[in-house]
Amino acid sequence: MIDAGTGLATLSLSEMHRIRHIFLTHAHMDHIAALPTFLSNQFEQPNLPVKVYGLAETLQRLKRNIFNDEIWPDFTKAIGSATAVVELVELKAGERIEHEGMLIEPFAVQHKIPTVGYSVRSEHLHYVFCADCTESAQLVTDLNRLAPIDVLMIECAFPDRLTEVAEKTQHMTPAMLQRTLLQVQDIKHVWVTHLKPSYESELRQTLSDGPWTIL
């Protein structure tokens, strides 16, 4: 699974118990919101620890601010005779790892805090998740380097009238997204995600006739 936002909290307990690997893009709350309760629900379950992967900066933020025995237990340590619930595994941008028949490559994207997107290659599918990011020459270079891409999932958080806010918070607007995609070759399907709820209907209207699917 990539990221642990509010969607994770909608899964049943048995579905949660089947998840054993979570790849984090960054430490912003909307991407880790369900992680604390997800991990406490794993206590005493088989096949522990759950592995949570991320940049060193992401894992440090989790340890310092959440799993600090103040806000939430430090689940990296065994509690009583039970096995530790989680193992934090550091990833570096550009370092490929093989995982259950997939080749996973985290790549750095420009956002307010250190963030990676993930390229996930399996035998028949190349999926790229851009995470939270803003427009950058590096993103265009990376997407062209990673292409051909079957499915690109990319964000569009703010409408164009809030370009200044998007620049400050390092997110995308429809115009930024369009400029980025015009410079990238060989992407079969684009899925647009991360529409901020307050602007969702406005963004859906603006994005409605583009060459993408809005999630």
Where do contacts with Zn ion occur on this chain (CB under 5 A)? 28, 30, 132
Q: Identify whether the C-beta of residue 177 lies closer than 8 Å to the C-beta of residue 152.
A: no
3-state secondary structure of 126: strand
Distance of alpha carbon 128 from alpha carbon 120, whole angstroms: 6
The distance of closest approach from Cβ of residue 25 to Zn ion in the complex, given in angstroms and rounded to an integer, is: 8
Cβ nearer to Zn ion, comparing 28 with 61: 28
Closer by beta carbon to Zn ion, 48 or else 192 = 192
Q: Would you say 27 or 48 has its CB closer to Zn ion?
A: 27
> Is the separation of the CB atoms in 125 and 163 below 8 Å?
no
Q: Least distance to Zn ion from the beta carbon of 207, Å?
A: 17
Which CB sits closer to Zn ion, 60 or 83? Answer: 60
User: Residue 167 CB, nearest distance to Zn ion (Å)?
Assistant: 14
Shortest Å distance, C-beta 66 to Zn ion: 16
DSSP string covering 95-113: --EEETTEEEEEEEE-SSS
Please state the separation of Cα 180 from the chain's center in Å.
19
Which residue's CB is nearer to Zn ion, number 122 or number 198? 198
Instruction: Name every residue whose Cβ is closer than 8 Å to that of residue 72 and which is 6 or more positions away in sequence.
Output: 36, 40, 66
Residue 23 structure tokens: 């790849």
3-state secondary structure (DSSP) of residue 145? helix
Report the nearest approach of Zn ion to the CB of residue 21 (Å): 21
DSSP state, residue 47: S
Residue closer to Zn ion by CB (options 30, 200) is 30
Smallest gap from residue 26 Cβ to Zn ion (A): 6
Which helix (H) or strand (E) segment holds residue 119: the answer is strand 115-121
Please give the DSSP secondary-structure letter assigned to residue 86. E
